[in-house]
Amino acid sequence: MSVSQKTKSAILFLSEPVHTDLYEELVSKYQIFNFRFAKKGKSREEQQEKFLEYVSKNFYPATKHKLDALYLGYAGFAPLPAGLTIEMIENNQQLQYLKVVVMCSRGINNVPYDYLTKNMGAVVQNYDDSELYVANDVADCGVYHVLESFRKFSYQQSKLREVLHSDGARGHLRGDAEDELRFCFGHELKVIDDDGTLKSQDEVKTSETNEGKEKNRPVQKKETTDVYEYMYTISPMNKKALILGFGNIGQTLAKKLKYGLSMDVYYSTRSGKNTLDKSMDEFSYYPWGEWTENLSQFDCIILCLPLSPQTKHIVDEKFLLNCARFKQGNLNHLSLVNLGRGMLIDWANIPKDFIKTKIRHVGLDVFYAEPLLTRECDDLTISNSTITPHIGSSTFEVFNRSSEFCLDVIKKHLD
């Protein structure tokens, strides 16, 4: 009697799918199992031990249920030390019958793709975003961070919720005294001094004036002009944006920035200028790898790159120094947004004062040591940054479409 005659096909879900008619059809045909990694309190090694223990107890040859399909959802095997490894498969017979492995994410991560497909003949499939729902929604997240970097809406909202008075909130943000009734237009925010302390515009101007009188010379604004610009709210209109990485997300974001925020958009890719798609001619190409002083022309740089040996730590101290515009190391005009992967930025070797006092804005949807927020967030505050918990594509529509897509792949290859 063959293995197939002695067993019943089983599907293991590591996350909850959408319970559509397609899901119910799979339930009626196959044995369904559900395993969840612990959200906290367990080390990666403990998570792996629990998973393998569950697999060994519930699937053939320990039982009649043969594990034919894995539904990984978004996180998949990220909680394990190295994901699902070849060693784990070879040492656990229960994992050696896999026919289908599906994941709702846009990447294929934490599984040995070549081994599963070539050695085992399994189908390994991630969500196909052919309708560009993921690209559109991640691009929306990028627009949010870019717009916030210029207008600082969240920072102003936080003060308004505290003060509950629109005129008063604008005054507080500028640094006016509690009982001051002077009208504030709303474009002036507190500025950051060289020592990292916050000062109001008036405090800086008074300090300049006194210094000028003491030295019996005209007041020179050169030393603080860049500091003023750090915390003005400014319009994104006609500002220059550079997008590194120009796949579906980068292209969709470029259109939103150009037609939604009226920005002047450039792009750069490892493959060079796009000469095949004429619709891309409306965007200027910036040469890949030219991380020189020419970067100083850009007001905003957005990372839409995958992680690879060529892109890891692409933004480092040297890269940022070349972005300086007013004087060496001063980035008070620059907004840096990361929608790609946390390790694109070499946070450990970027001087802390760049983030604390030298850069206008940092917008992050991804982090270096996800899911933890570590080095990159030490000096980020609501006044100089926006952070979102990797939710660029986290919409109802994407969740439903990716779930249904993966369920359909399982159905086609098990039926």
The CATH number given to whatever domain includes residue 366 is 3.40.50.720
Residue range of the domain that includes 222 = 190-232
Asked if 32 and 55 sit in the same domain, the reply is yes
Contact in structure between 152 and 383 (CB atoms under 8 Å): yes
Contact in structure between 23 and 16 (CB atoms under 8 Å): no
Structure tokens at 80: 């394990």
Asked if 265 and 140 sit in the same domain, the reply is yes
Asked if 207 and 320 sit in the same domain, the reply is no
Q: Which of 211, 214, 190 is nearest to 202 (CA)?
A: 190
Asked if 140 and 282 sit in the same domain, the reply is yes
Asked if 219 and 290 sit in the same domain, the reply is no
Contact in structure between 7 and 65 (CB atoms under 8 Å): yes
pLDDT at 212: 43
How many CB atoms are located within 10 Å of the residue 333 CB?
A: 21
Helices (H) and strands (E) in the chain, counts: 14, 14
Instruction: State percent of the chain over pLDDT 90.
Output: 66
DSSP code, position 82: S
Q: Give the pairing type, strands 264-268 and 284-285.
A: parallel
Q: For 316-334, how does the pLDDT look when each residue is reduced to its tens digit (9 = 90+)?
A: 999 999 999 877 778 889 9
Residue 80 phi/psi, 5-degree rounding, is -85, 160
Domain boundary pick from 232, 254, 282: 232
Assigned domain for 172 exists: no
Assigned domain for 176 exists: no
Contact in structure between 254 and 265 (CB atoms under 8 Å): yes
Name the domain count of the chain: 3
Structure tokens at 321: 């120094």
* Stretch (H or E) spanning 222: helix 222-230
Average pLDDT over residues 82-92: 97
pLDDT at 129: 86
Average pLDDT over residues 375-386: 83
Assigned domain for 391 exists: no
Q: What is the mean pLDDT of the chain?
A: 87
Structure tokens at 157: 């909202």
Q: What is the residue whose two structure tokens read 């479409």?
A: 401
Assigned domain for 162 exists: no
Assigned domain for 90 exists: yes
Residue 172 phi/psi, 5-degree rounding, is -60, -40
pLDDT-derived band at 370 (thresholds 50, 70, 90) equals confident
Asked if 224 and 238 sit in the same domain, the reply is no
- Torsion angle of alpha carbons 255, 260, 261, 265, nearest 10°? 10
pLDDT at 3: 65
Assigned domain for 174 exists: no
pLDDT-derived band at 215 (thresholds 50, 70, 90) equals very low
Whole-prediction pTM:
0.83
Asked if 404 and 268 sit in the same domain, the reply is no
pLDDT at 192: 53
Assigned domain for 158 exists: no
25-29, 44-48, 59-63, 278-282: segment of lowest average pLDDT = 278-282
pLDDT at 204: 45
Asked if 87 and 14 sit in the same domain, the reply is yes
Average pLDDT over residues 26-38: 96
Asked if 360 and 265 sit in the same domain, the reply is yes
Asked if 208 and 316 sit in the same domain, the reply is no
Between 223 and 359, the higher pLDDT residue: 359
Amino acid identity of residue 360, one-letter, is R
Residue 355 CB contacts under 8 Å (≥ 6 apart), including other chains: 362, 376, 378, 379, 380, 384
How many CB atoms are located within 10 Å of the residue 283 CB?
A: 22
Assigned domain for 170 exists: no
Rg (the chain; Cα; Å): 26
Q: For 157-202, how does the pLDDT look when each residue is reduced to its tens digit (9 = 90+)?
A: 999 999 899 988 998 888 887 777 678 888 988 765 544 454 544 4
Asked if 289 and 210 sit in the same domain, the reply is no
pLDDT at 172: 86
Q: Give the pairing type, strands 359-364 and 385-387.
A: parallel
Query: Taking 60 as the threshold, does the pLDDT of residue 220 lie above it?
Result: no
pLDDT at 387: 95
Asked if 262 and 138 sit in the same domain, the reply is yes
> How many residues in the chain?
415
Average pLDDT over residues 141-149: 98
Domain boundary pick from 212, 232, 252: 232
DSSP code, position 372: B
